[in-house]
Amino acid sequence: MDLYGVETYLQPKSLQEVKAWQSDWNWLAGGTWIFNQAQPQVKTLVDMEKFDWTEIEITPEGLTIGATCIQNDLLDFSFPESWTATEALKDAVRELASFKLSHAATVGGNICLALSASTFAPVMVALDASYEIWRPNGEPYFVDAVDFQTAPQQTILQPGEVLRRIKIPAQNLQWQTSFKRMAVCTAGYAIAIVVTAYHTQTQQVRFGIAGSVRSPQLVTGELGSISLHEQMPPSVEYLEDERGSTAYRRHVTGVLMQRGITELTTGMKGDRRY
Ligand SMILES: Cc1cc2nc3c(=O)[nH]c(=O)nc-3n(C[C@H](O)[C@H](O)[C@H](O)COP(=O)(O)OP(=O)(O)OC[C@H]3O[C@@H](n4cnc5c(N)ncnc54)[C@H](O)[C@@H]3O)c2cc1C
């Protein structure tokens, strides 16, 4: 799509070149969303390609993913065998949309776009990821994945701030994971996504929930004591639209949580998509 409002295209090599951030500027990552929608408010595109923030790094602390890492690169990467939870990252790529999209879209683009049906957000929440954000002056700060998105297409990012990288702690990468997604038609927009992470020794469970709720949610507990969707904080707001009512989304979320935990405790792999 032509972005008829865009007057300037910048391709900086470093953040120092982007100091004078204006309200009508917009970061450009893979461009799969930006060029798919009218963006009348955008006058300047600030292309992030030359930053080269594409790393997938294994460190003693865990996994680091650069914000402009192409989603498909996660499918091809050789992770340590013990990092079973990297399967959830791969599921986030597989469940996003098409081959064409995942070869251009970035991990950071999905997280910062912050759609309710983001496939990466619930994975990051379930795995206790944190996001490194850079202020326009380059000063970094960290935020937990669960606190990043505040509503559909709203995040805590202030004008000119940028997601630099994502960090997932090593211990969480050794959990077992299950990715479950429900849509009203096979290739449709998800009405609920539940990513379940389970630690077999301690029987701890972490659910990352999206699709059904206004912002990604985390539910944690110990197997047996955890009462699935009843553990959701009372303040959680479920979405209501033409795809599904609040009551339906709440119900489906509980069903997907149950299926995730059943899969991980019985070892019987079920469908990922319903
Ligand atoms: C056919 C189709 C189906 C789709 N289905 C789904 C779906 O089911 N679930 C889902 O989650 N998404 C879906 N998407 C959207 C998809 O997630 C996004 O297009 C993609 O992830 C965006 O990545 P990108 O790198 O292309 O970002 P861009 O399009 O370049 O940018 C997206 C937004 O994020 C901002 N941004 C990007 N990177 C950063 C950063 N590092 N720091 C700060 N801001 C940043 C940009 O300014 C822009 O506002 C779909 C898109 C299409 C075209």
- Assigned domain for 3 exists: no
> Could you tell me if the CB of 118 is within 6 A of ligand 1?
yes
Å from CA of 185 to ligand 1 middle:
21
CATH number at residue 80: 3.30.465.10
Q: Are residues 45 and 55 in the same domain?
A: no
**Is residue 271 pLDDT above 90, yes or no?**
no
Residue 254, both tokens:
């509980």
Q: Are residues 182 and 107 in the same domain?
A: no
> Could you tell me if the CB of 155 is within 6 A of ligand 1?
no
> Could you tell me if the CB of 96 is within 6 A of ligand 1?
yes
Q: Which amino acid is at 100?
A: K
Contacts of 4 (CB under 8 A, 6+ apart): none
Where does a domain end: 109, 140, 171? 171
Q: Are residues 179 and 228 in the same domain?
A: yes
% of the chain exceeding 90 in pLDDT: 80
Average pLDDT rounded to a whole number, residues 13-41: 92
As a whole number of angstroms, the distance between CA 186 and CA 163 comes to: 31
As a whole number of angstroms, the distance between CA 165 and CA 170 comes to: 16
Q: Are residues 69 and 83 in the same domain?
A: yes
Closest CA to ligand 1's atom 13: 96
Q: What is the mean pLDDT of the chain?
A: 93
Å from CA of 268 to ligand 1 middle:
33
Q: Answer for the pair 168, 129: CB distance below 8 angstroms, yes or no.
A: yes
Half-sphere exposure of 218 (CA within 13 A, CB side): 19
In the prediction, which pLDDT does 8 show? Answer: 94
Give the global pTM: 0.96
Q: Are residues 94 and 129 in the same domain?
A: yes
Q: How many CB atoms lie within 10 A of CB 223?
A: 15
* Torsion on CA atoms 96, 146, 108, 273, rounded to nearest 10: -10
- Assigned domain for 272 exists: no
Q: Are residues 85 and 55 in the same domain?
A: yes
Q: Are residues 60 and 103 in the same domain?
A: yes
Q: Are residues 143 and 101 in the same domain?
A: yes
> Could you tell me if the CB of 33 is within 6 A of ligand 1?
yes
Pairing of strands 130-134, 140-144: antiparallel
Closest CA to ligand 1's atom 10: 118
> Could you tell me if the CB of 244 is within 6 A of ligand 1?
no
Give 268's pLDDT tier (boundaries 50, 70, 90). Answer: confident
Q: Are residues 56 and 66 in the same domain?
A: yes
- Assigned domain for 273 exists: no
Closest CA to ligand 1's atom 31: 109
Q: Answer for the pair 271, 247: CB distance below 8 angstroms, yes or no.
A: no
Give 228's pLDDT tier (boundaries 50, 70, 90). Answer: low
Q: Are residues 14 and 68 in the same domain?
A: no
In the prediction, which pLDDT does 68 show? Answer: 98
Average pLDDT rounded to a whole number, residues 61-66: 98
- Assigned domain for 239 exists: yes
From 37, 71, 96, give the residue whose CB has the most ligand 1 atoms within 8 Å, as the site to mutate: 96
As a whole number of angstroms, the distance between CA 106 and CA 122 comes to: 16
* Mean pLDDT comparison of 35-39, 183-187, 244-248, 264-268, highest-scoring range: 244-248
From 28, 45, 101, give the residue whose CB has the most ligand 1 atoms within 8 Å, as the site to mutate: 101
- Assigned domain for 148 exists: yes
Closest CA to ligand 1's atom 47: 27
As a whole number of angstroms, the distance between CA 250 and CA 129 comes to: 25
Q: 121-137 in b/e burial notation, b at 16+ Cβ within 10 A?
A: bbbbbbbbbbbbbbeee
Q: Are residues 158 and 255 in the same domain?
A: no
Closest CA to 177 of 163, 196, 158, 155: 196
Per-position DSSP letters for 164-231, written without gaps between them:
EEEEEEGGGGGSEEEEEEEESSTTS-EEEEEEEEEETTTTEEEEEEESSBSS-EEEEEETTT--GGGG
As a whole number of angstroms, the distance between CA 188 and CA 22 comes to: 36
Where does a domain end: 115, 146, 171? 171
In the prediction, which pLDDT does 98 show? Answer: 82
- Which domain, by its residues, includes 94? 51-171
- Assigned domain for 1 exists: no
Å from CA of 235 to ligand 1 middle:
28
Q: Into how many domains does the chain fold?
A: 3
* Closest-lying ligand 1 atom to the alpha carbon of residue 119: 11
- Assigned domain for 85 exists: yes
In the prediction, which pLDDT does 57 show? Answer: 98
Å from CA of 26 to ligand 1 middle:
13
* Closest-lying ligand 1 atom to the alpha carbon of residue 104: 26
In the prediction, which pLDDT does 22 show? Answer: 93
Q: Are residues 179 and 147 in the same domain?
A: no
The model's pLDDT over 90-148, given as tens digits with 9 standing for 90+, comes to: 999 999 878 889 999 999 999 999 999 999 999 999 999 999 999 999 999 999 999 99
- Assigned domain for 97 exists: yes
**Is residue 226 pLDDT above 70, yes or no?**
no
Closest CA to 209 of 191, 186, 234, 187: 191
